[in-house]
Amino acid sequence: MTTTTFTCIGGYDGEPGRCEHCNKHLKHGVRTSTHGVIGADCFVKLIAADRNRFNGNGKPSPTMVRDYAKMVEFWSEERRSRMGYRSESFVFGLAAL
């Protein structure tokens, strides 16, 4: 039996810092529920592909991940809802290691 672990985008961190996954210098950080502040590239590497949700390789681009983080950080729940985003839009399954 396989269990799927999830992570969600919790916000945006615009302060220069380090990725808590690979220790790379960051200009833009994505706050996550499971991995702390990480880079969008690392976020994309950590999540499982979902071809029903995303075209191509089944994953969002790093730019899209940064945009999602900014939406969570700066937009109200009402604005996100009007734009078609639900809470589930920011939840992703983690890839099996």
Residue 2 lies in a domain: no
Reply yes or no on whether the pLDDT at 6 is more than 70.
yes
Q: How many independent structural domains does the chain possess?
A: 1
Give the pLDDT confidence of 25-36 residue by residue, as tens digits.
Answer: 999 999 999 999
Give the pLDDT confidence of 46-84 residue by residue, as tens digits.
Answer: 999 999 999 999 999 999 999 999 999 999 999 999 999
Residue 87: how many CB atoms within 10 A of its CB?
Answer: 11
- Where residue 1 falls among pLDDT bands split at 50, 70, 90? very low
Residue 3 lies in a domain: no
Q: What is the pLDDT of residue 34?
A: 93
Q: Which domain holds residue 70?
A: 10-89
- Where residue 41 falls among pLDDT bands split at 50, 70, 90? very high
Residue 96 lies in a domain: no
Residue 72 lies in a domain: yes
Of the candidates 61, 70, 51, the residue with the CA atom closest to the CA atom of residue 11: 70
Residue 95 lies in a domain: no
